[in-house]
């Protein structure tokens, strides 16, 4: 077992992988989501850990496109509590900080705190854990990074303040994807994508296939159809069992009226977790 | 009249503003979308030109959030054909190019062309027109930028190749927002945002308010509700006249079952245009 994730070691995606599997699972950091999907498709990794939405920032739309283009299967999900930390070189105090480095998304989630440090400016870095790595290498005494607790452990740096995010109701939902479908124990959730003929009321008709069978819709997301301006693919998350009659019939019903339907996976509803921080990797 | 847009002079948003109003309309470039919305809200600009979706890249989700938070009115829309150009200093040939600079979104839309130049690498810049500006200032003979025809005019540089985008069905839809509502001539389109109580079938019920009255849904977009994990606001674009009975009744119906409904605007359906390139501004 080897789990691909996007980002550097110490990224939130790594914490998600270790929470979902176990602390010592083998992981494979990838520079982009395209690489992540390629590693799982080629078989060089058995699983991929794919962030799909954050409760503050919204969906990670690029990954919806990857789910459509790649023939992988969603076999599980995990909701990771995102707790951002202000990380510094040992001895640095809050009043010493002039620059705060992090990924743009993390900076956007911590504006209340960063603006309260009036003498400090937020500076964009390519990665949260990468910002911590640079901080360690520079030894800067006037700078900080915003990243996971894991990143602080990895680089022996100090967490000066924890929970610096604007909104503590901050969760990222991850999908676990594999090449080979497995039958999860309680696959109570279904994800699928479809497109409709361009006729009035098309989306309403497609949702009625589920609503009229009392199948609950958990999420809807739309993405543009390539080369077809102002037409969309719709991604649905549904509550139900793929093998049970109402869901099976609803999907047959949808196929009657859609131009295509692709089942992305059937999997158990994910739990919310705080995230697993492993011990520092000796070789680093 | 003064139109705020995000980006540098020469940005696609400026071409959209000049296409929608007229070639010599006064414009006000803004560094961020937050600034754009602030300028219109404060009254220092009369209009804002807001890109809301691209047929290749999808929605500009940040601007949906701004529409909800700011009390502006959508009074029109425009669909601008996005034609990317390879721009160089005079005399530079295709085979001389080692670096191609542009905004990440423009680079992502031109991968087929940039990968065909095997000796060149794509390099991220903060802005399309900004990349052209830097190219002019450096005078580089081994580099190119990808940007609008306007940017080439502004910096007296050469367009070596036009239409370098992967997909020529590339349009960006812009919304024109104002502080003071006006009654457009044929407001055949309505945009609104709402949230539902968290009950099974909620989205289906809300769409039925329109579908059962034969009101056509043109687009749906969902965004997370702040502080309420896994709950969403839904943005709808509808075909219809706000003052006419079916639409008015449908919105009343929606209000019965929603936790909030906000009308974002009623405006004419936008036309697709090629974009207006103005002459070079003398003062630059």
The answer to whether the CB atoms of A229 and B57 lie below 8 A apart is no
**For the residues of A112-140, what is the DSSP string, one character each?**
HHHHHSTT-EEEE-S-HHHHHHHHHHHT-
CATH number at residue A47: 3.40.190.10
Which residues of B are less than 8 Å from A206 in CB distance? none
The answer to whether the CB atoms of A222 and B224 lie below 8 A apart is no
Q: Determine, yes or no, domain membership for B242.
A: yes
Domain containing A224 equals 189-267
Min Cα distance A82 → chain B (Å) is: 12
B187 vs A268 pLDDT, higher one: A268
A200 CB within 8 Å of a chain B CB? yes
Q: Determine, yes or no, domain membership for A27.
A: yes
Q: What is the mean pLDDT of chain A?
A: 93
Q: Determine, yes or no, domain membership for A279.
A: no
The answer to whether the CB atoms of A214 and B201 lie below 8 A apart is yes
Phi, psi (5° rounding) for residue A268?
-70, 150
Residues B133, B27 share a domain: no
Q: Determine, yes or no, domain membership for B28.
A: yes
Q: Which of B152, B182, B212 is the last residue of a domain?
A: B182
> How many other C-beta atoms are found inside a 10 Å radius of the C-beta of residue A185?
9
Mean pLDDT of A4-11: 91
b vs e for B259-283, b when ≥16 Cβ sit within 10 Å of the residue's Cβ?
Answer: eebeebbbbeebeeeebbbbeeeee
- CA nearest A57: which of A125, A124, A16, A103? A103
pLDDT on residue A144: 98
ipTM: 0.89
Residues B153, B107 share a domain: yes
Residues A63, A12 share a domain: yes
The answer to whether the CB atoms of A169 and B229 lie below 8 A apart is yes
Q: Determine, yes or no, domain membership for A280.
A: no
Q: Which of A33, A52, A54, A58 to mutate against chain B (most B CBs within 10 Å)?
A: A58
* Residue in chain B lying closest to A217 (CA): B201
| Whether residue A228 has pLDDT greater than 70 | yes
Gap between the Cα atoms of A36 and A62, Å rounded = 12
From B53, B216, B230, residue closest to A200, measured CB to CB: B216
- CA nearest A222: which of A59, A71, A80? A59
Mean pLDDT of A222-245: 92
Where is mean pLDDT largest: A9-18, A90-99, A237-246?
A: A90-99
pLDDT tens sequence across A120-161: 999 999 889 889 999 999 999 999 999 999 999 999 999 999
Residues A174, A71 share a domain: yes
B201 CB within 8 Å of a chain A CB? yes
Which residues of A are less than 8 Å from B210 in CB distance? 204
pLDDT on residue A282: 58
Residues B193, B148 share a domain: no
A257 CB within 8 Å of a chain B CB? no
**Confidence band of B10 (pLDDT split at 50, 70, 90):** confident
3-state secondary structure of A90: coil
Q: Determine, yes or no, domain membership for A238.
A: yes
Residues B118, B245 share a domain: no
Give me Rg for the CA atoms of chain A.
21
Residues A176, A77 share a domain: yes
Instruction: Determine whether B37 is an active site residue.
Output: no
A56 CB within 8 Å of a chain B CB? yes
Residues A111, A71 share a domain: no
Number of domains present in the structure of chain A: 3
Instruction: Determine whether A210 is an active site residue.
Output: no
Residues A54, A178 share a domain: yes
Gap between the Cα atoms of B132 and B266, Å rounded = 37
Q: Determine, yes or no, domain membership for B140.
A: yes
CATH number at residue B257: 3.30.70.260
Residues B199, B89 share a domain: no
pLDDT tens sequence across B181-230: 877 778 899 999 999 987 888 999 999 999 999 999 999 999 999 889 99
Residues B178, B72 share a domain: yes
Tokens of B146: 């990808």
pLDDT on residue B175: 98
B184 vs B95 pLDDT, higher one: B95
Catalytic residue among B33, B37, B174, B234: B174
Residues B111, B72 share a domain: no
Q: Determine, yes or no, domain membership for B278.
A: no
């Amino acid at each position: 077992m080897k789990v691909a994730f996007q980002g550097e070691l110490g990224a939130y995606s790594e914490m998600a992988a270790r929470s979902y599997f176990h602390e010592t699972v083998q992981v494979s950091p990838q520079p982009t989501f395209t690489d992540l999907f390629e590693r799982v498709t080629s078989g060089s990794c058995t699983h991929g850990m794919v962030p799909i939405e954050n409760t503050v920032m919204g969906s990670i739309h690029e990954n919806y496109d990857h789910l459509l283009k790649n023939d992988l299967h969603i076999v599980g999900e995990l909701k990771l509590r995102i707790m951002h930390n202000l990380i510094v070189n040992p001895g640095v105090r809050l009043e010493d900080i002039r620059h705060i480095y992090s990924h743009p998304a993390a900076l956007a989630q911590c504006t209340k705190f960063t603006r309260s440090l009036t003498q400090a400016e937020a500076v964009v870095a390519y990665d949260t854990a990468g910002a911590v790595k640079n901080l360690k290498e520079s030894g800067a005494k006037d700078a900080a990074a915003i990243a996971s607790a894991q990143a602080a452990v990895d680089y022996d740096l100090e967490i000066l303040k924890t929970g610096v995010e604007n909104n503590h109701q901050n969760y990222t939902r991850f999908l676990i994807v594999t090449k080979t479908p497995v039958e999860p124990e309680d696959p109570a959730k279904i994800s699928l994508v479809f497109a409709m003929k361009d006729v009035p009321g098309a989306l309403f008709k497609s949702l009625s296939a589920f609503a009229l069978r009392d199948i609950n819709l958990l999420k809807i997301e739309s993405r543009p159809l390539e080369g077809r301006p102002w037409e969309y693919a719709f991604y649905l998350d549904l509550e139900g069992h793929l093998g049970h009659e109402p869901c099976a019939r609803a999907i047959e019903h949808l196929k009657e009226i859609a131009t295509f339907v692709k089942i992305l996976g059937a999997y158990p509803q994910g739990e919310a977790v705080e995230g697993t921080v492993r011990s520092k990797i000796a070789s680093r």
